[in-house]
Amino acid sequence: MSAYVYLIRCKDDSLYGGYTTNVDRRLQQHQCGKGAKYTRGRGPLSLAYCQLLPDNSCALRWEAHLKKLPREKKLQLCQNWQQEQLRLAQPQDSEGIRAIYQYYVENTPATFAYTIPDGESYQKWVAQSLADYPFLVLEGEGGILGFACAHRWREREAFDWSVETTIYLAPTATGGGRGIRLYGALLALLKEQGLYQAYGVVTSPNPASEALHKRIGFQQLAYQPNCGFKQGQWYGTTTWGYTLCMAEGIPAPVKPFFNIDPQKIQQILSHC
């Protein structure tokens, strides 16, 4: 079951963190004095940060991480959450998406690509991707800060219930909980479609990406050494897996993303 990690801002400007399966109800409990002992008598209370995570264990890990953060980083997390918009990508976002990916193509081994498609091809890719799976962008004052999307894991029909995930942040936007925000929403939307497995393929070594996948609940399944050559040296890859739904019985057909209730999509995005 999905769960939320949240921070509540109290009247004295202190922050209280917790996790719940229903953030709106939990906030109301705090506001009525039926929440934690710490928040009683510290009203009015307001929601300063909220993050939807794919399961309880992941939420507990993220809550423990937040509680260890110094106040300055908690405040930065709250500011990012309030000022940056998580939304579905649109074809006109392709230029900003392409600019982020271009940095990684030209400067890092995070992708094994040597070249990047032109702007028109990228625009078509965004539009086509949204027909089948979620394609999310995180937008700030300066434009697109990051994106996350999914595509088929393999082409054979028996793989219909599995996807591969992709996530990239602008080099100036790493940290601050942005990767968790994008990934948490992406996995929640994939669950709504009735998908069973999500896989991420990560260049090795890539400590930041590996840490993100661990934190969101992925498990490393495989390591392929020396399978890509870029920027004068060989790199391996690791494959990470996340179970969206337990594989039991005959699965229902996967819902195309355009058939998911728009209100449900907005509810998920508004809590990430």
Phi-psi region at 74: left, alpha or beta (left = phi > 0; alpha = psi -120 to 50): alpha
Token pair for 64: 């423990």
**Predicted structure pTM score:** 0.92
**In the 8-state DSSP scheme, what is residue 255?**
P
pLDDT number for residue 219: 96
Phi, then psi, of 109 in degrees rounded to 5:
-90, 10
Q: Check if the beta carbon of residue 242 is closer than 8 Å to that of residue 117.
A: no
Per-block average pLDDT, block size 10, for the chain (272 residues)?
Answer: 91 93 92 88 91 90 92 94 95 93 96 91 86 95 95 96 97 92 96 97 96 95 97 97 94 94 93 86
DSSP assignments along 90-126, one per residue:
-GGGHHHHHHHHHHHHHH-SSS--SS---HHHHHHHH
Distance CA 229, CA 11 (A): 55
Distance CA 152, CA 188 (A): 17
